[in-house]
Chain A
């Protein structure tokens, strides 16, 4: 079932076209990775889908509903959760409170004036934290967590609204290698069990080739290739402009690991 349909998405910054006529689709439960060199327009594409940027032209439909150009909070209401390249959390709150904030918003209670916030949706928050392996850290301040754990909390926050689509902008950036594969495996599992579509950008080729169902290759704002990891690996043009020899080797390693 097709969840997300993006057609002809274009964004210019001054004279530079950061995204040119970008089109793709994403199915429920599918993991779609966008890769490309620095400045290829990954984050731009991403932020247009997430509502942080307004597209100049093009359409974005989620479950048949147009979400292009809506503010971030409306896109969230339509069923899109996201994580950021540099994790965005509420640093003055505990791990549990971060997730509770998302649940308060999800249940439309952010304007409640006299209820005790810490007691609201606590069990649900702890359940979500258990899902990302952060249940034991629920009472710690999010500001004292290791970065990998912050990313897990962010994932729990993004999942709190039971999104249909999850956007993850470089989910493993800044993490140790072991944490990376753990987070991606977790994401893949959550996505497949709950039929959540996942769109992610990534620099780490292992994270891409071990977990993506399909891969888009973006260069200078344009999609130059799309297909399964095998097809992308075999595509000579991709090899040439993006992966290089080192990248191809990493892809092979990841493949062996995934098979083993």
Chain B
């Protein structure tokens, strides 16, 4: 036979015969009376009206009373708490009468001194030889540990539910904070500019990621207005911090010196000083100045680009062309970069469109491998040339919506237009030029 360490011996030998040990053990349990009195459960017998006729010592000890105080003097329901008594009368007793037995009902008994003890109660009806009910026999099991365990489970569950509620509240608060921060990165409304129509749109790729695109329009002096639009590398809080720094630096720089190259250079100095080294942060941007001429209805535009895709000009005559700004460098990576300038004049009905590369880099085609691209944008612009900025932006929003999941980046759009107005234009089509 194998040596079995740490296990109880078999109650019987391998041949099925009683071992001498088991035979001896049986002698220890030869008294049914003693087993009844000291069993690890309460025994209770009552008449059919509930009057207690017999109960064991275990139950007496739980109740904390003398036998004489109970037998013949109390009913089973007298031993129960008020709630238990009610449950007994509405459920327990009717079921027992109907079925002749009932088991595992959780009730509480009253102990001397006022304490309550949870028990699991089972009862059977004992019938006489002619089938008439004689007695109810009841066992009561101590359910204190079980109750404690259940209460612990409930407590844990409540704690988990509370944690979930807290997490949801935190999440909502965080989203509110993100929305507030996002709004601080963009103007809530564009200012009224005399002699200029404006419209903008911001497409957020992900609601819980702060985007890195930005734009703004603001007054420089009585005649000139500044505008900018750009794209900070990366996403999330760190990118948003750069976006915020960029927006307010450009605003402040323009008030100091509205020259587009000077404004971008100031921004470059700030970003380069702040973010040079192992974690480079930079942006692409177009910064420009518009000056509407109230007499002619024309708007002169002077802008500079730092690594940003070229602006698109939609002419009232139905044509559309890029305003090229090649060679301008990303803002923030070199101490003294070159920015490329360009100027144009918007005649009444002309619109200047600035955009971020979310638009031109949107993936198109059935397999989402082709890019929307510059030429498609130019053609789209020609299709909407002559419309005011609001209508152009509306059309572009429709275009963005059409990209579906092919548009996976934030996209900012800003359109500035010379109002078509009633005044007939006698001037020739203004020329566009760019310098490096």
Q: Do A and B bind each other?
A: no
Which chain B residues have a beta carbon within 8 Å of chain A's beta carbons?
none
Which chain A residues have a beta carbon within 8 Å of chain B's beta carbons?
none
